[in-house]
């Protein structure tokens, strides 16, 4: 189960994968990632960024196509991921899974994603 928490908001998604996209708050550059969810955690398996700068440089093996730098992140499965929510991007984070997309709140502090059998039970 993919769990998403922000402030008092809790979202539980039975999904084997999800995508995240957002706009960088300084560079105003679009970023997109596709993640795989398993019992071991969640891991990014594909990413693209439409520009670089301010800590957003694509890795050396990235390829440029369709107006963006595409690459495969080298990150092991994570049990938890915390996303910053600055409120400065104008649209915040969007998470898509199981055929539906969700705008995640920007004004309730950091966003927490984790994998658990029951999202209501703290890990």
pLDDT at 122 over 80: no
pLDDT at 93 over 60: yes
Q: Taking the CB of residue 59, how many other CB atoms lie within 10 A of it?
A: 11
User: What's the pLDDT tens digit per position in 40-89?
Assistant: 999 999 999 887 666 667 889 999 999 999 999 999 999 999 987 666 55
Residue 6's Cβ-count burial label (10 Å; 0-12, 13-18, 19+) is buried
- Domain that residue 27 falls in: 2-115
Q: Is the dihedral of CA 56, 96, 85, 5 positive or negative?
A: negative
User: Is residue 123 in a domain?
Assistant: no
User: Is residue 30 in a domain?
Assistant: yes
What is residue 17's predicted lDDT score, i.e. its pLDDT? 96
User: Is residue 87 in a domain?
Assistant: yes
User: Is residue 121 in a domain?
Assistant: no
User: Is residue 47 in a domain?
Assistant: yes
Please give the share of the chain, as a percent, with pLDDT higher than 70. 85
Instruction: State how far the Cα of 105 lies from the Cα of 118, in Å rounded to an integer.
Output: 22
The whole-chain average pLDDT of the chain stands at 86
Q: How many domains does the chain have?
A: 1
User: Is residue 85 in a domain?
Assistant: yes
User: Is residue 122 in a domain?
Assistant: no
User: Is residue 120 in a domain?
Assistant: no
């Amino acid at each position: 189960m993919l769990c998403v928490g922000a402030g008092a908001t809790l979202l539980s998604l039975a999904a084997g994968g999800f995508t995240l996209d957002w706009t960088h708050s300084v560079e105003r550059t679009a970023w997109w990632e596709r993640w795989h969810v398993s019992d071991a955690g969640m891991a990014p398996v594909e990413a693209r960024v439409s520009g670089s700068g301010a800590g957003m440089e694509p890795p050396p093996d990235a390829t440029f196509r369709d107006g963006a730098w595409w690459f495969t992140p080298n990150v092991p499965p994570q049990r938890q991921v915390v996303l910053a929510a600055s409120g400065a991007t104008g649209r915040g984070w969007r998470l898509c899974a199981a055929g539906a997309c969700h705008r995640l709140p920007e004004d309730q502090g950091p966003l927490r994603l984790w994998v658990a059998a029951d999202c209501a039970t703290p890990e």
